[in-house]
């Protein structure tokens, strides 16, 4: 951990810093986490990123590109009087570009939610539920991550951990379920008709303006949890939701962080 520059505005992709108030110094220190690696006789040192924030940033960037291509290429075709929409040879490459940008945005929006749900589960956490045979099952963090769907983790596990209401009644929840469905169809694409054809039925959704609301549901779901708790947790992306920043109070900063001060003085 090291103190960031006083004049530096944080990149929103950075891992959320820790605020520590030292009573002896009568100061509040902001500590950021650094990643340090050794490779090829070099020491690599940089401020740690928030992987959830990076996934959201990728999704948002590709979302904007895909939306502009939708408005330019697809939307006008729905506004003309023709009952059939076709794409000629001069348009097909741009259509595929649209598919790429949209698919990247969709997959990273879902990945952000998936990562958010996984990181929230404490290492020693267990979840109890009754199966269809009325037998109680005890799920560990490892089994939850491996066997439960993201919507189950986000809808059942995460609310219990964070102490908030499940998001089932929120307007974005059906859209998130649709996001999960489309994501699964992309990742688990199947062959049909005795493997003579490939099922790409998810592409049907890409021609509707609603696809952008479906992608946006991933961000809204993360924002929901970040807005419902009183204090932000370290893995909450910066700038998402409205939680308070918790301040850890200690008696003497130098007592706990002398090694950092010594290193900086050298």
Give 5-38 pLDDT, tens digit per residue.
455 667 999 999 888 888 777 888 888 888 999 9
Q: Are 47 and 81 in contact (CB under 8 A)?
A: no
The CA distance from 52 to 108, in Å, is 9
Q: Where are the beta strands (DSSP E) in the chain?
A: 18-22, 27-31, 34-39, 42-47, 126-130, 136-140, 191-192, 197-198, 247-250
**β-strands 42-47, 126-130 pairing:** unpaired
The CA distance from 19 to 9, in Å, is 15
Q: State the chain's maximal CA–CA distance in angstroms.
A: 76
| Closest to 180 in 3D by CA, of 208, 204, 222, 149 | 149
The CA distance from 150 to 21, in Å, is 37
Average pLDDT, the chain: 88
The pLDDT value given to residue 157: 92
pTM as predicted? 0.85
| Closest to 111 in 3D by CA, of 201, 187, 14, 163 | 187
Which of the 8 DSSP states describes residue 209?
A: T
Q: Are 156 and 167 in contact (CB under 8 A)?
A: no
Give 201-243 pLDDT, tens digit per residue.
889 999 999 999 999 999 999 999 999 998 889 899 998 987 7
Q: Which region among 50-54, 70-74, 156-160, 251-255 has the lowest average model confidence (pLDDT)?
A: 251-255
Q: Is the pLDDT of residue 155 over 70?
A: yes
Give, to the nearest 10 degrees, the angle between helix 210-228 and helix 89-119.
20
The pLDDT value given to residue 9: 66
134: left (phi over 0), alpha (psi -120 to 50) or beta: left
Helix (H) or strand (E) holding 218: helix 210-228
The CA distance from 81 to 77, in Å, is 9
């Amino acid at each position: 951990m090291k103190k960031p520059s006083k004049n530096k505005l944080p990149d929103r992709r950075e891992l959320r810093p820790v605020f520590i108030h030292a009573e002896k110094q009568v100061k509040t220190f902001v500590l950021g986490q650094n990643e340090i690696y050794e490779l090829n006789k070099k020491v690599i040192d940089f401020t740690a990123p928030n992987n959830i924030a990076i996934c959201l940033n990728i999704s948002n960037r590709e979302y904007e590109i895909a939306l502009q291509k939708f408005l330019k290429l697809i939307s006008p075709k729905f506004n003309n009087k023709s009952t059939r929409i076709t794409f000629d040879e001069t348009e097909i490459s741009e259509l595929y570009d649209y598919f790429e940008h949209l698919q990247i945005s969709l997959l990273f929006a879902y990945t952000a939610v998936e990562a958010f749900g996984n990181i929230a589960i404490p290492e020693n956490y267990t979840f109890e539920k009754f199966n269809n045979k009325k037998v109680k099952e005890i799920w560990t963090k490892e089994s939850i991550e491996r066997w439960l769907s993201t919507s189950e983790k986000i809808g059942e596990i995460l609310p219990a951990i964070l102490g908030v209401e499940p998001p089932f009644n929120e307007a974005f929840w059906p859209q998130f379920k649709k996001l999960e469905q489309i994501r699964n169809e992309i990742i688990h694409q199947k062959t049909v008709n005795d493997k003579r054809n490939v099922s790409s039925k998810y592409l049907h959704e890409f021609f509707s303006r609603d696809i952008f609301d479906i992608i946006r549901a991933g961000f809204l779901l993360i924002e929901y949890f970040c807005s419902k708790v009183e204090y932000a947790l370290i893995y909450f992306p910066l700038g998402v939701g409205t939680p308070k920043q918790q301040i850890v109070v200690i008696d003497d900063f130098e007592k706990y962080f002398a090694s950092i001060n010594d290193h900086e003085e050298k």
